[in-house]
Amino acid sequence: MTRYPDPKQVGGDFYSRNFAKNARPDTLILNLGPQHPSTHGVLRVLLELDGEYILRAEPVFGYLHRMHEKMGETKAWGQFMPNMGRVDYGHPLSWNWAYCGAVEKLAGIEVPERAEVIRVITHEMNRLTSHLLWWGAYILDLGAFTPIMYAFDDREHLLDLLQRPTASRLTYSYFRFGGVSKDLDEKFVEGTKAFIARFRQRLPMYKDLVTDNIILRKRVEDIGIIDQDMVTRYGATGPVARGAGLAYDLRVSEPFGVYDRFDFKVPTQTTCCSMGRYLVRMEEMEQSCRIIEQALEQLPGAEGPHLVKGAPKPQAKMPAGEAYFAVEGGRGKVGVYVVSDGSKIPYRVKLRAPGFSNLSCFAEACQGMLLADAVAVLGSLDLIIPEIDR
Amino acid sequence: MSIHPQLLHLIIALIAVMAWVGLNALVLVYFERKGAGFIQRRPGPFEVGPQGIIQPLVDGIKLMCKQLVMPTGADPVLFWTAPLLSMTPVLLLFLVLPYGPWLTGMQIDLGILLILAFAGINVLALLIAGWSSNNKYGLLGAARAVAQSVAYEIPLLLAVLAVAFTTGTLDFVKITEGQGPWPWQWNMVYQPLAFIIFIISAVGECNRAPFDLPEAESELTAGFHTEFSSMGFGLFFMAEYSYMVVVASVASTLFLGGYQGPFGSDGWWWYLPKVYAILMFMIWIRWTYPRVTFVQLLNINWKWLLPLGTVNLLATAFFMKLF
C-alpha cells in the first residue's frame, strides 16, 4: 500500500519528509502549525493521525529564534538587559532576575534589602500575570471564550500597577545589577493591596464557574499523563513537575533573593494529568498573593536604597569568571549561565528555558489520544514559544 | 397568461422567506455579538450606527467585497456547490414554519417530515465542503460533521415523534393549535424529557458550542470551511444562523405553543419572542461552556440521549394507548 499523497511528490521541508518516512501508509500526517490558533505563537507540531487518534507527534520549533544567546556575546553587560524582557513575554521579570543574579554573583555585587523585597513583590505580581494569561488562553484552547476576558481584566489591573515602577507593560527591563531601576511608590503599594483583596474574591468565582465545570473537568482529567519518571527524564520543571507530585520549587529548595523569609506552600498534585497541572497553577496564584502580602508588610522596614551605591554602569567591565543563577519562573526553572573574560562584553550567555524541557514531554504524553486532547495537553504545559526558541 | 394562485402564493412566500432569512442572520449576528459582549463584560459592537446595530450589515458588505479564493487541488465543482447546497434547503425549511395564524408559507400535512428531510441535506453540504477543499483540517471537520449530524438526528427525531404521537399529526399548524395559549397548556409540560432532548440535539445539529466540533477553532482552525473566503464562507455562516432559527422555531412550535397567545391574541408577536428566547439560550451556552471532545459528544448521544429518547417514546406510546 502506498501512501497518498506520496511524500516524495508533495515535497515539504526536511521535518515533514523525515516524519513521513516512518509513517504507516494508512495514516494522515497533519501539520499543526506554525500558524494555528492553539499553538500559542509559532510552534509547529507534526502529527501522525489514525482517524483522530494520535500515533506519533513531533514538535518542530525555531520559527521565533532571535539569537538571544548570540546577542549576549555582542553587547555590553548592561545592554543585554532589555533582551531579558523579551525572552519570555509571560514572565519577563524572572529572566530579569536570573540574568541580574548571575552577573551579581559574578561581580560580587551586594543587593540592598529593600531592592530584594521589591524584586520579590514585582516578580510575584508578574507570576500572577503569567498564570492569568495561561489560564485564559488555556480555557480558550478548550473552546470557552469568556474566561480569558475575566483573566485579562485582572491582568490589566496588575499591568497598570507594574507599569508605575517598571515603565512598561509587557517586556520589562526593570532589574539592574545591584537592585531595581525605580523604587515603589505609595500608590503602587495601596493599589496592590486593593488588587489582592479583589483578586481573593475573584479566585473562588473562577473555581465555581470554570474549574468545577463538568465539561472542563471531563476534558482535562486523566489527559496527558506526565509522571515523575518522565519529569526527571526530560528535565521538566515548574508546575509540570509539581503536577506530577514533585515538590520542586526553587523558591523553597534553592532559595534565591529573600524568598526564605516568606511563609507559603508549594502546591503539588499527584494526579500527573492536565488537571493536576491546572490545579497547581490555580493554587500558585493564591500562594503568590500570600507572598506579595507578606512582602508588602516587610517593605517599610526594609533598609537601604532600591539600587546599590556604585552599581555598575551599562558599559562596565566585569571580572573574569563564570556564574550560574536560577530562579523559579512561571513555567519552571529559569537559569542563566554567564562566562566573562574580564571585558565589557560577556564571553558567553547561556539561557536555560523551562518551556523547552516541558515541551519535550509532549511527544510522549500525547500518544494515543484524540487531537482535541492533544490541544488540551499542549495548553496545560503553558508554552511560551519565544522562550523555547530564544 | 395567468399564474396559478397557489404558485403565486408560493413565489411570494419564497421571496419573503429569503428576505426574512437575510434579516434574521443580521439580527442574530448582532444579538450574538451583543450577548457575547454582555457575558464577557464588554460593550460588544457599538461604533457602527447607534449601539452598533449596523455592524452586521457592514460585516456582510465586507464579506461580499472579499476575493473568492479556491485552493490548488480543490475540486472546483464541488467546492462552489457546497456553500450553495448549504444555503438553499434552508429557504425551503422556512416555508412550512407557522409564523402566525395567516402567516404560513405553505401549510402541508407533513411539515415536520419536510424539515427533518431537508435539514439533512446540510450534512451533505458540509461533507463536500470539507472533502473538496483539499485541506486536512477541512477533511477532519467534514468527518466530524457527518458523524455528529447523523448521530444527533436520531434523538431529535425521537423527541419530535413523541410530540407527534400525542398530537396525532405532523402538521405544524395543527400541532400549534393543539396546544393552548398558557404555558401549562404547552407540550413542554406534557413532554419535558422530549423538550430537553430536543434542545440538546438541536444544539448538536446546528454545530453550536459546546458541540461545535466540525468547526472547532482551537483544534481544526475553522474545520470544514477553513478554505472558504468571502461569501463562500458567508453562505455557510448564514446557513448556520438560519438553521438555528429553524430549530428554535420548531422547538417553539412543538413545545412552546407557537404563535398562540392568550385571549385570542394569536400572531407572530407571540411566536418571535419564543423563538428568540431559545436563540438567546443557545447564544448564552455558547459563550459559557468549553467544547466537548468528539468521543464525549458521541457518548452523550448514544449512551444518554438515544436511550432516554427511546424510553420516552415508548412511554408516550404506552400512555396514549392506555388513555
Stated pTM of the model: 0.88
C-alpha A152/C-alpha A140 separation (Å) is 12
**Could you tell me the CA-to-CA distances from A221 to A346, A377, B216 in Å, in that order?**
46, 10, 20
Do A66 and A386 form a contact (C-beta atoms < 8 A)? Answer: yes
What does pLDDT average to over chain B? 84
Which of chain B's residues have a Cβ under 8 Å away from the Cβ of A221?
none
Name the residue facing B42 among A30, A149, A216 (closest C-beta). Answer: A149
pLDDT of residue A124: 92
Name the residue facing B290 among A37, A153, A213 (closest C-beta). Answer: A213
**Do residue A143 and residue B290 have CB atoms under 8 angstroms apart?**
yes
Cell, residue B157: 427525531
Residues 72-131 of B with CB under 8 A from A: none
Q: Could you tell me which residues are beta bridge partners of residue A30?
A: A47
Neighbouring CB atoms inside 10 A of A364's CB total: 14
Task: Say if A153 is an interface residue toward chain B (CB within 8 Å).
Answer: yes
DSSP E strands in B172-253: the ranges are: none
Neighbouring CB atoms inside 10 A of B320's CB total: 12
C-alpha B201/C-alpha B207 separation (Å) is 10
CA count, 13 A, side-chain hemisphere, A315: 0
C-alpha A98/C-alpha A351 separation (Å) is 9
**Do residue B218 and residue A370 have CB atoms under 8 angstroms apart?**
no
**Do residue A371 and residue B140 have CB atoms under 8 angstroms apart?**
yes
Name the residue facing A149 among B40, B217, B221 (closest C-beta). Answer: B40
**Do residue B218 and residue A141 have CB atoms under 8 angstroms apart?**
yes
Print the SS3 string covering chain A: CCCCCCHHHHCCCHHHHHHHHCCCCCCEEEEECCCCCCCCCCCEEEEEEECCEEEEEEEECCCCCCCHHHHHCCCCCCCCHHHHCCCCCCCHHHHHHHHHHHHHHHHCCCCCHHHHHHHHHHHHHHHHHHHHHHHHHHHHHCCCCCHHHHHHHHHHHHHHHHHHHHCCCCCCCCEECCEECCCCCHHHHHHHHHHHHHHHHHHHHHHHHHHCCHHHHHHHCCCCCCCHHHHHHHCCCCHHHHCCCCCCCHHHHCCCCCHHHCCCCCCCCCCCCHHHHHHHHHHHHHHHHHHHHHHHHHCCCCCCCCECCCCCCCCCCCCCEEEEEEEECCCCEEEEEEEECCCCCCCEEEEECHHHHHHHHHHHHCCCCEHHHHHHHHHHCCCCHHHHHC
Do A46 and A58 form a contact (C-beta atoms < 8 A)? Answer: yes
**Do residue A143 and residue B287 have CB atoms under 8 angstroms apart?**
no
B100: enclosing H helix or E strand: strand B98-100
Which of chain B's residues have a Cβ under 8 Å away from the Cβ of A371?
140, 219-220
Nearest CA distance, A390 vs chain B (angstrom): 25
pLDDT of residue A1: 45
**Do residue B219 and residue A373 have CB atoms under 8 angstroms apart?**
no
**Do residue B40 and residue A218 have CB atoms under 8 angstroms apart?**
no
Task: Say if A259 is an interface residue toward chain B (CB within 8 Å).
Answer: no
Q: Is the peptide bond before B50 cis (omega within 30 degrees of 0)?
A: no
The radius of gyration of chain B from alpha carbons, rounded to an integer in Å, stands at: 20
Reported as a single tens digit per residue, the pLDDT across B20-34 is 888 888 888 898 889
Nearest CA distance, B51 vs chain A (angstrom): 21
Nearest CA distance, B55 vs chain A (angstrom): 21
DSSP state, residue B291 = P
Reported as a single tens digit per residue, the pLDDT across B92-107 is 888 888 877 776 767 7
Residues A133-143 as b/e (b if ≥16 CB within 10 A, e otherwise) read bbbbbbbbbbb
**Do residue A52 and residue B42 have CB atoms under 8 angstroms apart?**
no
Residues 195-234 of B with CB under 8 A from A: 209-210, 212-213, 216-221
Query: Pseudo-torsion of CA A166, A167, A170, A176, nearest 10°?
Result: -40
C-alpha A252/C-alpha A264 separation (Å) is 9
Candidates A201, A192, A211, A283; CA nearest to A243 is A283
Task: Say if A375 is an interface residue toward chain B (CB within 8 Å).
Answer: yes
pLDDT of residue A49: 87
**Do residue B217 and residue A143 have CB atoms under 8 angstroms apart?**
yes
C-alpha B9/C-alpha B13 separation (Å) is 6
Reported as a single tens digit per residue, the pLDDT across B142-162 is 888 888 888 888 898 888 888
Task: Say if A208 is an interface residue toward chain B (CB within 8 Å).
Answer: no
| Residue A388: φ, ψ to 5° | -70, -45
C-alpha B236/C-alpha B242 separation (Å) is 10
Neighbouring CB atoms inside 10 A of B83's CB total: 24
Mutate to test the interface with A, among B219, B220, B291 (most CBs of A within 10 A): B219
Instruction: Kindly tell me the burial class for residue B135, based on how many C-beta atoms sit within 10 Å of its own C-beta (0-12, 13-18, 19 or more).
Output: buried
Cell, residue B271: 411566536
Residues 34-73 of B with CB under 8 A from A: 36, 39-42
Mutate to test the interface with B, among A39, A138, A142, A153 (most CBs of B within 10 A): A142
**Do residue A52 and residue B290 have CB atoms under 8 angstroms apart?**
no
Low-confidence ranges of chain A (pLDDT < 70): 1-11
Nearest CA distance, B287 vs chain A (angstrom): 6
Nearest CA distance, A234 vs chain B (angstrom): 26
Reported as a single tens digit per residue, the pLDDT across B261-272 is 777 777 778 888
Reported as a single tens digit per residue, the pLDDT across A78-127 is 888 889 888 888 899 999 999 999 999 888 888 888 888 999 999 999 99
Nearest CA distance, B283 vs chain A (angstrom): 12
Mutate to test the interface with B, among A153, A219, A366, A369 (most CBs of B within 10 A): A219
- Count of residues making up chain A: 390
Q: In sequence order, which residues have a C-beta less than 8 Å from that of residue B277 and are 6 or more positions away?
A: none
Name the residue facing B289 among A37, A215, A372 (closest C-beta). Answer: A215
Which of chain A's residues have a Cβ under 8 Å away from the Cβ of B140?
30, 52, 371
Nearest CA distance, B296 vs chain A (angstrom): 9
- Residue ranges of domains in chain A, CATH in brackets: 14-60 (no CATH), 68-389 (1.10.645.10)
Range B235-261 average pLDDT: 86
The radius of gyration of chain A from alpha carbons, rounded to an integer in Å, stands at: 22
C-alpha A250/C-alpha A122 separation (Å) is 17
Q: In sequence order, which residues have a C-beta less than 8 Å from that of residue A9 and are 6 or more positions away?
A: none
Mutate to test the interface with A, among B203, B226, B289, B300 (most CBs of A within 10 A): B289
Task: Say if B295 is an interface residue toward chain A (CB within 8 Å).
Answer: yes
Mutate to test the interface with B, among A32, A215, A274, A369 (most CBs of B within 10 A): A215
Which of chain B's residues have a Cβ under 8 Å away from the Cβ of A28?
136, 139
C-alpha A42/C-alpha A90 separation (Å) is 15
